[in-house]
Structure 1
Amino acid sequence: MLEVDDRIASWSVQELIDRMRRPRYRCGGGVAACVALAQAAALADLVRRAVRRSLDNGLEQEMAHVFGSIAERALARADLDRAALHELLSTLRSNPASSESQPVIEHATLVPLGTADLGLELLEMLARLAPAVPAFAASDLEAARALCRSGIQAALAMARANLPLLTAPRAAELEQEIERRAAILQESTR
């Protein structure tokens, strides 16, 4: 049974790692994607704080808000992903071929797509921060970018994994959504 009051944000890092190793906690790749985005946002905020004097005050305040918000939303999405995975696995165990399973499968596909969107939002803000970052903080910014990209890639992989479970027309529509986000991610690495 999934404990809905047991929020991932309240776990220690050790608890998170231990629970990711056990299927009963429902902490799969979607949760890992969310945690990567939260870490990326935290590192980005660290960099912002290091270069705050070289940023326009309005931009610095916007970044402070966005990075904090993304970190919080990513952790909240981890709980959402965990619940969606629990519901999906329960549905697939009880009646996988029923038409009633389609909304559950679709929800479990849309949740990681939303996570990818959050990552793309963060990636855009990281690009705005980059010009102000001196050499001493460049490695942290690059680590934030790498975590962000990996979180997006993991989220897209989780969404893609559910496509074979959907009806062909809906799977094709969602595949296009996945590919659109993957193209945006690819473009951002140039």
Structure 2
Amino acid sequence: MKPLVVKLGGSTAGKAEMQHWIDALASSTFPLVIVPGGGPFADQVRLAQKRFGISDDAAHAMAILSMDQFGMMLAERHDRLRLARTVGEIGDVLVAERIPVWLPSTMTIDAADVERSWNVTSDSLSAWLAEKLGAKALLLIKQTDEYLHCASLSALADAAIVDPLLDKMLAPDIDLYIAGPQTLDALKLPLATIPGHPIMRCSIVEDMGAQ
């Protein structure tokens, strides 16, 4: 069974929702992989770039390292979570019936198919990993419920709820789900199904509007 890829947004850092989501994901009865956001660590990279004139290439690498930092923090929050840097390590953790927390720097800092800009966030990198793992679904956990007002992936990008390259990076055979605080409040544990709301791809919405 292919794992669900779950991006846990860095905006949950330092909030009660972070631990609640960790506990919920750790209770999962199906395999999943957690991708950490950058959160306050990425915010510091943005500030440093403005202050010191850091190039986009360097800021890109530093932002990915900020995801590593948040991932290390997450992995300490539950005994079932284990750090993993490669597809092989992710597989080993899953075989041990633990939950991998992916540290993306090893695989992505120099990846030729990852744009080196702020247009790429942990959203797009989660989609990138999902394709590498052959996953069938991607769940993005956000610190907002505004996604409920968006009918498609393109609308989510327009509202800056997801990054502008997610639609390009998300393989067409991977289903997308988004969850927020309302989802967390309604969760029943142990987690047996994908939480959140399924999101239409923009092409599907456009085809429906043309009929």
**Considering the TM-score relative to the shorter chain, is it more than 0.5?**
no
Greater relative contact order (Cα < 8 A, sep 6+): 1
Richer in helix (by share): 1
Please indicate the TM-score interval, normalised by the length of the shorter structure. Answer: under 0.3
Richer in strand (by share): 2
